[in-house]
């Protein structure tokens, strides 16, 4: 394990491009594998999660390669053309990759076994398995529908209309991907809208996607077995990754940074909306469109933050950003109440508990009330001075490294390895802006003192 310490830094300055959007990168590889011809992808996240998806697509028969020019090339198999893999599909820590691959496989007449690392093997798959079984797939899994699991795709898949019991872009996307190789119309109904990267990319590849407002919620329908051809895709910077330098710049006096080419899909901007409500000086400029996705540059300047109440309806648009929002709340004046965070309990770790215990270790008043997180800040830097157990969770790791950049004492993390799943080179990028993140030296007093 590679531990890191983060110490108080001066103002952050400069312009930076964060790695490509992880959600869009997964989908670009998968739809490229289902298209005929060649798909060219620029800006693909080369983090471990996405590399696992690239490997899985190769095992399923697609040609996937990264060029020296930074462009990824995918030679697709066409709808229904995936082949049975010779070995186990190991998705590492990629929850999105695992659930979406299950969707791809559900309507192909083949058998495949999926597994992952210790963290992914604890994450429930039942919510995606249930609708895929209704479409005709057979799934054998460990008790609790955990990985490793084996899926036998349907030889004659059946289209379904499925209402999501809880908001989940992963479940929605898995069903839509299964629907691509299913005759007839497949519909997913969402009581609360979730991120729509799959729908936008399907349209980019020429798939007819119909979205309607119904009394039951937002209904998304696709017609199965279309012919799709390879496309060029430019992947925006990941707003979930941009959240870490964004909050760091807000917390460090005198900071002034610009994040370029960031995805600003309205289903992903809940954190920005919340930070602005807290008093953050954030400006969005130079809006444009990349392969159907809205993109912009984001300027961030140091700000004094105040506590706010975040409604549960906002959770789907910022579910991955709550760890870093909680860090921002620790520096704000007053209470920040984040409601409706049940989904955080089944992420890479029990994020809700990890956030609360990490903040408490750093001298911050934090409490869990049901599915709500309450953080009380004093409007000044908290004590810090702890080493955080990350439990293989990359976002917990990065959030507390940001905390150490502005707290009174250094903050350390026990394992920086998982950061590469979503933000390879995180420490280098942050240090380039003016941070002080370095390997922990057990002989030198630092985090944990």
Strands 333-338 and 372-378: antiparallel
Q: Which of 146, 320, 333 has the alpha carbon at shortest distance from 240?
A: 320
- Residue 173, by phi and psi: left (phi above 0), alpha (psi -120 to 50) or beta? alpha
* pLDDT computed for residue 2 by the predictor: 85
Would you tell me the crossing angle of helices 239-251 and 322-331 to the nearest 10 degrees?
10
pLDDT digits over 381-393, tens only? 999 999 999 988 9
Residue that the structure tokens 């991955």 belong to: 320
> 43-61 burial, b if ≥16 CB within 10 A, otherwise e?
bbbbbbbbbbbbbbbbbbb
Q: Distance between CA 161 and CA 225 in Å, rounded?
A: 17
Q: Per-residue pLDDT averaged across 258-281, rounded?
A: 97
3-state SS assignment for residue 93: coil
pLDDT for residue 448 is more than 70: no
Q: Distance between CA 371 and CA 383 in Å, rounded?
A: 26
Clarify whether 320 is annotated catalytic. Answer: yes
pLDDT for residue 444 is more than 50: no
* pLDDT computed for residue 349 by the predictor: 67
The CB density around residue 289, as the number of other CB atoms within 10 Å, is: 10
The DSSP element (H or E) to which 111 belongs, if any, is strand 111-115
The CB density around residue 254, as the number of other CB atoms within 10 Å, is: 12
* pLDDT computed for residue 16 by the predictor: 95
Burial, 17: exposed, middle or buried (Cβ in 10 Å; 0-12, 13-18, 19+)? middle
The CB density around residue 165, as the number of other CB atoms within 10 Å, is: 11
Ordered by start, the domain boundaries in the chain are 4-20+236-439, 22-234
* pLDDT computed for residue 71 by the predictor: 97
Least confident stretch, 246-255, 289-298, 326-335, 342-351:
342-351
Q: Do the domains spanning 4-20+236-439 and 22-234 agree at the CATH topology level?
A: yes
Q: How far from 334 is each of 223, 260, 318, 331, 357, CA to CA, in Å? A: 50, 32, 21, 9, 19
What's the fold here for domain 4-20+236-439?
UDP-n-acetylglucosamine1-carboxyvinyl-transferase; Chain (3.65.10)
Q: Distance between CA 156 and CA 231 in Å, rounded?
A: 28
pLDDT digits over 111-126, tens only? 999 999 998 999 989 9
Burial, 209: exposed, middle or buried (Cβ in 10 Å; 0-12, 13-18, 19+)? middle
Residues near 445 by beta carbon (within 8 Å), at least 6 away in sequence: none
Q: Per-residue pLDDT averaged across 277-283, rounded?
A: 98
Q: Per-residue pLDDT averaged across 405-412, rounded?
A: 97
Q: Distance between CA 248 and CA 399 in Å, rounded?
A: 9
What's the fold here for domain 22-234?
UDP-n-acetylglucosamine1-carboxyvinyl-transferase; Chain (3.65.10)
Q: Which of 296, 283, 194, 319 has the alpha carbon at shortest distance from 236?
A: 296
pLDDT for residue 446 is more than 90: no
Q: Distance between CA 346 and CA 243 in Å, rounded?
A: 21
pLDDT for residue 289 is more than 90: yes
Give the DSSP letter string of 165-219.
SS--HHHHHHHHHHHHTSSSEEEEEESS----HHHHHHHHTT--EEEEEETTEEE
The answer to whether 278 and 333 are in contact (CB under 8 A) is no
From the candidates 238, 297, 320, 415, give the one annotated as an active-site residue: 320
Give the DSSP letter string of 50-65.
HHHHHHHHHHTT-EEE
pLDDT for residue 49 is more than 60: yes
Residues near 357 by beta carbon (within 8 Å), at least 6 away in sequence: none
* pLDDT computed for residue 447 by the predictor: 41
Q: Distance between CA 335 and CA 223 in Å, rounded?
A: 48
Q: Per-residue pLDDT averaged across 202-220, rounded?
A: 96
Residue 37: pLDDT band with limits 50, 70, 90 = very high
Q: Per-residue pLDDT averaged across 396-419, rounded?
A: 96
The answer to whether 175 and 131 are in contact (CB under 8 A) is yes
Q: Per-residue pLDDT averaged across 281-294, rounded?
A: 96
Q: Mean of the per-residue pLDDT values for the chain?
A: 95
The CB density around residue 282, as the number of other CB atoms within 10 Å, is: 18
pLDDT digits over 140-193, tens only? 999 999 999 999 999 999 999 999 998 899 999 999 999 999 999 999 999 988
- φ, ψ at 202 (rounded to 5°): -60, -45
Residue 9: pLDDT band with limits 50, 70, 90 = confident
Residue that the structure tokens 């590469």 belong to: 420
Residue 11: pLDDT band with limits 50, 70, 90 = very high
The answer to whether 386 and 362 are in contact (CB under 8 A) is yes
pLDDT digits over 305-320, tens only? 999 999 999 998 999 9
Q: Distance between CA 130 and CA 104 in Å, rounded?
A: 15
């Amino acid at each position: 394990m590679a531990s890191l310490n983060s110490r108080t830094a001066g103002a952050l300055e400069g312009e930076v491009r964060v790695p490509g959007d992880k959600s869009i990168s997964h989908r670009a590889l998968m739809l490229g594998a289902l298209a005929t011809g060649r798909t060219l992808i620029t800006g693909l996240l080369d983090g471990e999660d996405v590399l696992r998806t690239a490997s899985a697509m190769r095992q399923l028969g697609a040609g996937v390669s990264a060029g020296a020019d930074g462009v990824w090339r995918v030679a697709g198999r066409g709808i229904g053309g995936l082949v049975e893999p010779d070995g186990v599909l190991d998705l590492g820590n990629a929850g999105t990759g695992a659930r979406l691959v299950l969707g791809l496989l559900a309507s192909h007449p083949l058998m495949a076994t999926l597994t992952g690392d210790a963290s992914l093997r604890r994450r429930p798959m039942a919510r995606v398995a249930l609708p895929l079984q209704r479409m005709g797939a057979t799934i054998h899994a460990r008790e609790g529908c955990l990985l490793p699991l084996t899926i036998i795709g349907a030889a004659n898949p059946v289209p379904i209309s499925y209402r999501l019991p809880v908001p989940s872009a992963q479940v929605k996307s898995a069903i839509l991907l299964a629907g691509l190789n299913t005759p007839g119309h497949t519909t997913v109904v969402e009581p609360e809208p979730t991120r729509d990267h799959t729908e936008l990319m399907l349209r980019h590849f020429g798939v007819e996607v119909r979205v309607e407002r119904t009394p039951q919620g937002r209904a998304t329908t696709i017609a199965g077995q279309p012919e799709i051809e390879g496309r060029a895709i430019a992947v925006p910077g990941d707003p979930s990754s941009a959240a870490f330098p964004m909050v760091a710049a807000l917390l460090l006096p005198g900071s002034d940074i610009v994040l370029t080419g960031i995805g600003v899909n309205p289903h992903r901007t809940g954190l920005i909306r919340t930070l602005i409500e807290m008093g953050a000086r954030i400006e969005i400029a130079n809006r444009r469109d990349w392969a159907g996705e809205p993109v912009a540059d984001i300027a961030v300047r140091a700000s004094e933050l105040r506590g706010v109440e975040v409604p549960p309806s906002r959770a789907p648009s910022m579910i991955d950003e709550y760890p870093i929002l909680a860090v921002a709340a620790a520096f704000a004046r007053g209470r920040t109440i984040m409601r409706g965070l049940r989904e955080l309990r089944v992420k890479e770790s029990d994020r809700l508990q990890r956030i609360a215990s990490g903040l408490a270790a750093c001298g911050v008043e934090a409490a869990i009330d049901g599915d709500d997180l309450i953080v009380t800040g004093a409007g000044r830097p908290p004590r810090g001075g702890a080493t955080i157990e990350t439990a293989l969770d990359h976002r917990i790791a990065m959030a507390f490294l940001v905390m150490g950049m502005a707290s009174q004492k250094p903050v350390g993390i026990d394992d920086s390895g998982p950061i590469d799943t979503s933000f390879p080179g995180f420490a280098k990028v942050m240090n380039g802006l003016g941070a002080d993140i370095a390997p922990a030296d057990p002989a030198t007093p630092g985090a944990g003192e």
